[in-house]
């Protein structure tokens, strides 16, 4: 995907076997990447999945480029997911724009950490093959259930 090298990736592994590799490619805002990793590990336990997942925190510039190159939309977006091959190939990559997350948080009445959690869960579900644009609400219901169980809010 050409995300480049990041400084000191943080790797976390849960007992269920999810290994989260966290890459923070932005410097505008301090982010508790471990908190996001733990959330994804708990979600993996709830969903009964394991493997390796890369979580990349970036800025609008990278998300705009990826959105243009992979989706044909020349604008930044909040989260993009790139499913992997599974098994040794990994579950895939979730890339979040922290800048867009900040704007979302303001407009939705959330804190930035809360919005990042929502986007991380959303991205994980996409990596696992869920698609809210075509599944008749299945992903939305699953995401709401995970938010209630793991975040204590819808």
CATH of the domain at 85: 3.40.390.30
Q: Quick check: is 2 in a domain? A: no
Residue 67 pLDDT more than 90?
yes
pLDDT reported for residue 112: 96
pLDDT(2) > 50: no
Rounded Cα gap, residues 8 and 30, in angstroms: 15
pTM, 2 dp = 0.87
Where does the pLDDT of residue 15 fall: very low under 50, low under 70, confident under 90, or very high at 90 and above? very low
Determine, yes or no, domain membership for 145. yes
pLDDT of residue 117: 97
Assess whether pLDDT exceeds 50 at residue 62. yes
Give Cα 52 distance to the centre of its chain. Answer: 13
Share of the chain above pLDDT 90, in %: 77
Would you say residue 30 lies in a domain?
Answer: yes
The total number of structural domains in the chain stands at: 1
Range of the domain at 37: 10-151
Instruction: Determine, yes or no, domain membership for 14.
Output: yes
Name 120's bridge partners: none
Question: Does residue 109 sit within a domain?
Answer: yes
SS3 56: strand
Any domain includes 41: yes
Higher pLDDT, residue 4 or 70:
70
Tell me if 75 sits within 8 A of 101, measured CB to CB.
no
3 within domain boundaries: no
Q: How confident is the model at residue 5 (pLDDT cuts 50, 70, 90)?
A: very low
pLDDT of residue 14: 47
- 92 located within any domain: yes
Q: Give me the mean pLDDT over the 19-48 stretch.
A: 93
């Amino acid at each position: 995907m050409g995300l480049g090298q990041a400084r000191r990736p943080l790797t976390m592994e849960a007992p269920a076997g999810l290994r989260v590799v966290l890459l923070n490619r932005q410097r505008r805002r301090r982010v508790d990447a471990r908190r996001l990793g733990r959330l994804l590990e708990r979600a993996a336990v709830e969903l009964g999945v394991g493997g390796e997942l890369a979580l990349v925190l970036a800025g609008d510039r990278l998300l705009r480029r990826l959105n243009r190159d992979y989706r044909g939309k020349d604008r930044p977006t909040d989260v993009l997911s790139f499913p992997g091959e599974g098994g040794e190939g990994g579950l895939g990559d979730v890339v979040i724009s922290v800048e867009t997350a900040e704007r979302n948080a303001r407009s939705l009445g959330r804190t930035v950490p809360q919005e990042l959690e929502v986007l991380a869960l959303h991205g994980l579900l996409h990596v696992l093959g869920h698609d809210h644009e075509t599944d008749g609400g299945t992903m939305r219901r699953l995401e709401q259930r995970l938010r209630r169980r793991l975040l204590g809010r819808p």
